[in-house]
Structure 1
Amino acid sequence: MAQGQDHTLKAFDQDIVTLRGLISQMGGMAEEAIEQAMRALQRGDAELAAEVKAADAKIDAIEAEVERMAVRTIALRAPMANDLREVVAALKIAGVVERIGDYAKNIAKRVPQIESEHRIEPISILPAMAKMAAEMVHDVLDAFAARDAHAALSICERDDALDDFYDSIFRTLVTHMVENPKTISQVAHLLFVAKNLERIGDHATNVAEMVYFAATGTRMADREKAHG
């Protein structure tokens, strides 16, 4: 019996390693999608934007693989407590990373609609916000791989800075639009891009909360109050 349990534990550990690897792969692709979408936006590169949109299908496919594997692991290994939290976290995190990829794709979709000949100056401040959001995604998935509750907490704190950045960009863009009514259409698209970046940060925070719970068995204190 003990030998059978040992085999099950080893098989479970291998499943977890595989799940983490798949989520890491998804995360890397989502990060790259954010960076490429912003590069396409800066350059007015419709071809690169199309590549970002096409690559999103690969992220979706890996999420489906994570879902299949997580369900199979729960059914075959019957994990308990800590182990079950880890599998459920992997399942949920894959869904969130897939949505992050969707936000990058949504940014890429705007690229052909933004005038490339008369690009407005505020577009130059969006890449810094995108870098901050992409770093949050990268770091929270590192925290998941390391089961690092402390790192997960620090990522949640960074979301406030990203929200402040969004508020600043929002004001800058609206001011520009009021002073230059001919740019309304371009500004509307850029406001949409900024909002997508802000939502990526929110999703990274959601992942951080899942990582914290998976690692500790308790929920983060005061996050609801902070956002409520």
Structure 2
Amino acid sequence: MTNGTTRTALDADLVAVRDDILRLGSLVYRASQRALEAFSKNDTALAKQVITGDDELDELHHHVESMVASTVARQGPMATDLRRLLAALLIANELERMGDHAEGIAKTVVRYTGQGRPTVPPLLPQMLEHIKKMLYEAMEAYVAEDAEKAAQVARMDDRVDDMYNSLFQLVVGEMHRGDLSVELGTYILWAGHSLERIGDRVTNICERVKYASTGIIDDLNTKDDAA
């Protein structure tokens, strides 16, 4: 192939990978929203839909892996193009794990089924809304290859951490006073922790965006978080 033909083919592959990443982001956005809805309503049927839907996310993740590997092998990308593909691979992995966290919330609903509708602290839906905003803006930064916006989104995770810490103190206090059963309190904390981890992974995505754009590998959030 001529250089022009090779460039055209590489550009087409890059666009295809980008579109799959955006689709992954959309699936995660929907899964996290539906998972917390199922948790709030104790809706087992909806929770099972979220759990089943994780298979689609996993399949798309594997497709991105295959697409990136094939593009690297066939096109031999260099410099910025190679960084874009490597970043996409890492972003796809983060999104797949975020889907796992949403699935984890849904699985708590199945375990809790038959025990009544839980009273969900307002902090949980507030965390979700903030995380959805982070994810949406991180995807915008990815498409625009905007390292500055990615850094701004990463800083938003501090608010998620603050909300989770407040939720933890609230729930533990209610359990200690006997106002909340230990079992339900544990489920609420698990849901909150899952949302907090989704926020952490959005930050990881932002770091990949910065790498793709600048070639710099940087920790955009210096707080010590568990893996």
Q: Same fold (TM over 0.5)?
A: yes
Note the alpha carbon deviations across 1:75-129, whole angstroms, 9 max, x for none: 111011111000000111111100000000000001133365362352x331111
1: CA distance, partners of 2:2 / 2:204: 37
Greater share of helix residues, 1 or 2? 1
* 1:47-58 alignment runs, 5 A limit: 47-58=45-56
Query: Which among 95, 98, 101 is matched to residue 97 of structure 1?
Result: 95
TM superposition shift of 1:142: 1.7
| Fraction of identical pairs, as percent | 34
> Which residue of structure 1 lines up, in the alignment, with residue 116 of structure 2?
117
Give the partner amino acid of 1:168.
S
SS of residue matched to 2:118: coil
- Counterpart among 188, 191, 194 of residue 193 in structure 1: 191
Does 1:164 pair with 2:167?
A: no
Q: Which consecutive residues of structure 2, in runs of 5 or more, have no partner in the other structure?
A: none
Could you tell me which residue of structure 1 aligns to residue 127 of structure 2?
129
Structure 1 equivalent of residue 25 of structure 2 = 27
Task: Kindly provide the CA deviation profile for residues 4-24 of structure 1, in whole angstroms up to 9, marking residues without a partner as x.
Answer: 111111111110100010010
**Local SS of the residue matching 2:116:** coil
Change (3 A) 1:226 1:190: closer
Q: Secondary structure at the match of 2:77?
A: coil
SS at match of 1:174: helix
Distance 2:221 2:38 in 1: 36
Question: In structure 2, the residue corresponding to 1:218 is in which secondary structure?
Answer: coil
The residue number in structure 2 matching 1:213 is 211
Q: 1:118 to 1:46 in 2, by over 3 A?
A: closer
Instruction: Name the TM-score, length of structure 1 as normaliser.
Output: 0.93
3-state SS of paired residue (1:117): coil
- CA deviation after TM superposition for structure 1 residue 64, in Å: 0.7
Aligned residues: 224
Partner residue in 2 for 1:153: 151
Q: Which residue of structure 2 aligns with residue 83 of structure 1?
A: 81
SS in 2 for 1:170: helix
Return the letter of the residue paired with 1:201: G
Separation of aligned partners in 2, 1:175 and 1:11? 59
Matched residues in 1 for 2:200 and 2:111: separation? Answer: 26
TM-score w.r.t. length of structure 2: 0.93
Provide the alpha-carbon RMSD of the alignment: 1.7
Q: Which runs of 5+ in 1 are unaligned?
A: none
What is the CA-CA distance between 1:182 and the residue it aligns to? 5.6
- SS of 2:181's equivalent? helix
Residue number in structure 1 paired with 2:140 = 142
* Equivalent-residue separation in structure 2 for 1:35 and 1:225 (angstroms): 27
